[in-house]
């Protein structure tokens, strides 16, 4: 059965000339519920694929205030749930406080985006305290719910695992106000804990916390940084969390004058703080490395005295700021997001907890981002990172690469001309015996047919092509982050 849950009042003009609100990015105005009988399935859905693939993304509802950045849009979550060869699709807009206020105001934007916070006339959310909390970046399952959030820090919104309907702000999230939570919290399937961080423009500039397996805020401590920073991800191993102090941030003195322009301070080392899971500012150990910026990590793990952190490095991050540079704002955003401009590639940083020694170097030189591993291998030694490949000139996701981090060898699958994917997930099949014994999942938007689908690949052999494709009721826009929720984690952590 195909059911329409709601029709949204999209006021973004269909003929907009904004490249981040049309084509691949054009917002979707309908919320659907669809089961297998109403979905076209090409191939066969594996019966040993059980659980849910969920993706968040920006789906701007109202005509924006000022320059629109593609990370400003309202969060919309899409899910495909697999059960014994059947699939069910849902999509829902995250009903944030900001969205509801704009709806009540008659369908207009009340807050500016991340590039023009000075346009704001009312208090907002995030590290800048100015923009709307769109809850459109990350999505993770914890304690039987989905938690969505935005990068600039905001409230952790709790969604129903069954329908994706917004339940509200997590109870523990209210204790983090007004800072909130930054996207890229990490869950440990072995313990049921979730680690997170946030950041602010004022001292101490960062906090770190742990939510336990029973959904209680078990730990929340300040972490002192030298100034305001703009971190994006954190690492997790069995015993440690790894926090980031990177030389790509607002200039402290300019910020005091109200100027917010991200700059790369090429002479300033990157610092990574390795902290025991329940440690604090007194027990964190900082390691300095070559200057860089890091968006996303693939995995971290321990090996004796060493803590290893793998992820995608940017040695020369770009400038997304708008203002007086005399270039079209959209063109600057496009250049900044182009992973080929920043030559983003896989890298390993290694920290010796005994001697303080640091090692670093590339794992792979090819441009890639959004690296993911199987959930059950997060924080542990691993072999395969599944990374997204990008079409040069844009940040459109054109394929997936399976990188062996030990040998540097790889497999890959291209989505095809004018077909662009989402962040992948590794869905281990039930009874899996290795970290690639399962499936790679992604949502594809096909600009040739102007339709979208779920793509299922064999994780052991990407090159054999799709195991199955499931055509969705309507084209969906480009997305942000995604997660895989195993069938036995849908309604609570494995560890009671
Ligand atoms: Fe991210």
Task: Tell me the CA–centroid distance for residue 73 and ligand 1, in Å.
Answer: 15
Q: Which tokens is 214 given?
A: 């029973």
Domains within the chain, CATH numbers bracketed:
2-489 (2.120.10.30)
Q: Give me the mean pLDDT over the 95-104 stretch.
A: 96
Task: Tell me the CA–centroid distance for residue 41 and ligand 1, in Å.
Answer: 30
Task: Tell me the CA–centroid distance for residue 36 and ligand 1, in Å.
Answer: 31
Task: Tell me the CA–centroid distance for residue 217 and ligand 1, in Å.
Answer: 23
What pLDDT score was predicted for residue 320? 52
Task: Tell me the CA–centroid distance for residue 274 and ligand 1, in Å.
Answer: 20
CB atoms within 10 A of CB 101: 13
What pLDDT score was predicted for residue 426? 98
The least confident of 116-125, 321-330, 408-417, 429-438 is: 321-330
Task: Tell me the CA–centroid distance for residue 298 and ligand 1, in Å.
Answer: 12
Task: Tell me the CA–centroid distance for residue 295 and ligand 1, in Å.
Answer: 6
What pLDDT score was predicted for residue 323? 47
State the Cα–Cα distance between residues 346 and 329, nearest whole angstrom. Answer: 29
The least confident of 79-83, 97-101, 127-131 is: 127-131
What pLDDT score was predicted for residue 319? 60
Q: What percent of the chain has pLDDT over 90?
A: 85
**pLDDT per residue as tens digits for the range 392-402:** 988 899 999 99
Task: Tell me the CA–centroid distance for residue 271 and ligand 1, in Å.
Answer: 19
State the Cα–Cα distance between residues 361 and 236, nearest whole angstrom. Answer: 20
What pLDDT score was predicted for residue 485? 98
Task: Tell me the CA–centroid distance for residue 390 and ligand 1, in Å.
Answer: 15
With a cut of 80, say whether residue 456 has pLDDT above it: yes
What pLDDT score was predicted for residue 333? 86
Task: Tell me the CA–centroid distance for residue 368 and ligand 1, in Å.
Answer: 14
The least confident of 68-72, 163-167, 272-276 is: 68-72
The per-residue pLDDT of the chain, averaged, comes to: 94
Task: Tell me the CA–centroid distance for residue 150 and ligand 1, in Å.
Answer: 9
Task: Tell me the CA–centroid distance for residue 134 and ligand 1, in Å.
Answer: 14
Task: Tell me the CA–centroid distance for residue 137 and ligand 1, in Å.
Answer: 7
Task: Tell me the CA–centroid distance for residue 369 and ligand 1, in Å.
Answer: 10
With a cut of 60, say whether residue 411 has pLDDT above it: yes
Residue 131: pLDDT band (50, 70, 90) is: confident
Q: Give me the mean pLDDT over the 244-267 stretch.
A: 89
Q: What percent of the chain has pLDDT over 70?
A: 98
Task: Tell me the CA–centroid distance for residue 313 and ligand 1, in Å.
Answer: 13
Task: Tell me the CA–centroid distance for residue 218 and ligand 1, in Å.
Answer: 25
Task: Tell me the CA–centroid distance for residue 37 and ligand 1, in Å.
Answer: 34
Task: Tell me the CA–centroid distance for residue 202 and ligand 1, in Å.
Answer: 23
Task: Tell me the CA–centroid distance for residue 293 and ligand 1, in Å.
Answer: 13
Collapse the DSSP code of 89 into the 3-class scheme (helix H, G, I; strand E, B; otherwise coil) and give the result. strand
| Contact residues for 417 (Cβ-Cβ < 8 A; gap 6+) | 448
What pLDDT score was predicted for residue 327? 65
Q: Which tokens is 481 given?
A: 């982050």
What pLDDT score was predicted for residue 464? 95
What pLDDT score was predicted for residue 53? 98
Task: Tell me the CA–centroid distance for residue 481 and ligand 1, in Å.
Answer: 7
Task: Tell me the CA–centroid distance for residue 114 and ligand 1, in Å.
Answer: 15
Task: Tell me the CA–centroid distance for residue 38 and ligand 1, in Å.
Answer: 33
Residue 299: pLDDT band (50, 70, 90) is: very high
Q: Which tokens is 79 given?
A: 């899910």
- Give the closest residue to 10 by CA, choosing from 80, 122, 99: 99
Under 8 Å between Cβ of 471 and 39: yes
State the Cα–Cα distance between residues 125 and 139, nearest whole angstrom. Answer: 18
Q: Give me the mean pLDDT over the 108-123 stretch.
A: 89
What pLDDT score was predicted for residue 216? 97
Residue 231: pLDDT band (50, 70, 90) is: very high
- Give the closest residue to 418 by CA, choosing from 396, 443, 440: 396
Collapse the DSSP code of 255 into the 3-class scheme (helix H, G, I; strand E, B; otherwise coil) and give the result. helix
Task: Tell me the CA–centroid distance for residue 124 and ligand 1, in Å.
Answer: 21
Q: Which residue has the higher pLDDT, 53 or 258?
A: 53
Q: Give me the mean pLDDT over the 82-106 stretch.
A: 97
**pLDDT per residue as tens digits for the range 347-388:** 999 999 999 999 999 999 999 999 999 999 999 999 999 999
Q: Give me the mean pLDDT over the 98-123 stretch.
A: 92
State the Cα–Cα distance between residues 198 and 179, nearest whole angstrom. Answer: 7
Task: Tell me the CA–centroid distance for residue 93 and ligand 1, in Å.
Answer: 19
Task: Tell me the CA–centroid distance for residue 151 and ligand 1, in Å.
Answer: 7
With a cut of 60, say whether residue 85 has pLDDT above it: yes
- C-alpha 482 chain-centroid distance: 7
DSSP string of 199-264, one letter each residue: E-SSTTEEEEEEE-TTS-EEEEEEEE-SS-------EE-SSEEEEEE-SEEE-HHHHHTT---EEE
Residue 243: pLDDT band (50, 70, 90) is: very high
With a cut of 60, say whether residue 137 has pLDDT above it: yes
With a cut of 50, say whether residue 109 has pLDDT above it: yes
State the Cα–Cα distance between residues 237 and 380, nearest whole angstrom. Answer: 6
Name residue, tokens 């000022």: 66
| Contact residues for 232 (Cβ-Cβ < 8 A; gap 6+) | 151, 182, 183, 184, 244, 294, 295, 296
Angle, vertex CA 180, rays to CA 149 and CA 479, nearest 5: 15
With a cut of 70, say whether residue 407 has pLDDT above it: yes
């Amino acid at each position: 059965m195909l059911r329409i849950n709601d029709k949204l009042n999209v006021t973004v003009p269909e003929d907009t000339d904004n490249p981040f609100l049309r084509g691949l990015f054009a917002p979707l105005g309908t919320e659907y519920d669809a089961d297998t009988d109403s979905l076209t399935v090409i191939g066969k859905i594996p019966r040993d694929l059980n659980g849910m693939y969920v993706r968040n993304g920006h789906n701007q509802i109202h005509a924006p205030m000022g320059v629109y950045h593609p990370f400003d849009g309202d969060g919309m979550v899409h899910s495909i749930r697999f059960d014994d060869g059947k699939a069910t699709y849902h999509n829902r807009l995250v009903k944030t406080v900001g969205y509801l206020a704009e709806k009540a105001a008659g369908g207009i934007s009340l807050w500016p985006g991340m590039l023009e916070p000075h346009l704001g006339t009312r208090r907002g959310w995030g590290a800048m305290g100015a923009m709307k909390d769109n809850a459109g970046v990350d999505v993770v399952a914890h304690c039987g719910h989905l938690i969505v959030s935005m990068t600039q820090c905001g409230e952790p919104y709790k969604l129903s695992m069954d329908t994706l309907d917004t339940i509200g702000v997590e109870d523990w999230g209210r204790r983090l106000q007004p800072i909130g939570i930054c996207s890229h919290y990490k869950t440990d399937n072995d313990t049921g804990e979730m680690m997170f961080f946030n950041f602010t423009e004022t001292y101490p500039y960062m906090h770190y916390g742990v939510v336990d397996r029973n959904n209680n805020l078990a730990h929340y401590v300040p972490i002192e940084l030298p100034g305001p920073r703009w971190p994006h991800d954190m690492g997790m191993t069995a015993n440690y969390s790894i926090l980031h102090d990177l030389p790509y941030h607002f200039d402290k003195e300019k910020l005091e004058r109200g100027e917010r322009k991200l700059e790369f301070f090429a002479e300033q080392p990157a610092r990574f703080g390795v902290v025991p899971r329940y440690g604090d500012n007194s027990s964190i150990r900082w390691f300095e490395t070559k200057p860089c910026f890091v968006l996303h990590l693939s995995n971290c793990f321990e090996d004796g005295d060493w803590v290893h952190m793998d992820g995608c490095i940017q040695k020369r991050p770009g400038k997304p700021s708008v203002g007086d540079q005399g270039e079209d704002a959209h063109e600057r955003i496009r250049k900044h997001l182009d992973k080929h401009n920043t030559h983003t590639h896989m890298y390993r940083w290694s920290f010796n907890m005994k001697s303080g020694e640091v090692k670093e170097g590339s794992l792979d030189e090819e441009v890639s981002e959004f690296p993911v591993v199987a959930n059950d291998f997060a924080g542990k030694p691993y072999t395969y990172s599944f990374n997204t490949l990008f079409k040069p000139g844009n940040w459109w996701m054109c394929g997936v690469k399976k990188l062996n981090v030990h040998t540097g060898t790889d497999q890959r699958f291209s989505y095809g001309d004018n077909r662009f994917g989402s962040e992948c997930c590794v869905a281990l099949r039930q009874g899996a015996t290795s970290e690639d014994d399962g499936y790679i999942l992604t949502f594809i938007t096909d600009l040739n047919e102007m339709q979208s689908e779920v793509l299922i690949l064999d994780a052991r052999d990407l090159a054999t092509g799709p195991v199955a494709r499931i055509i969705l009721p309507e084209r969906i826009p480009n997305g942000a982050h995604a997660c895989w929720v195993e069938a036995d984690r849908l309604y609570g952590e494995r560890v009671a």
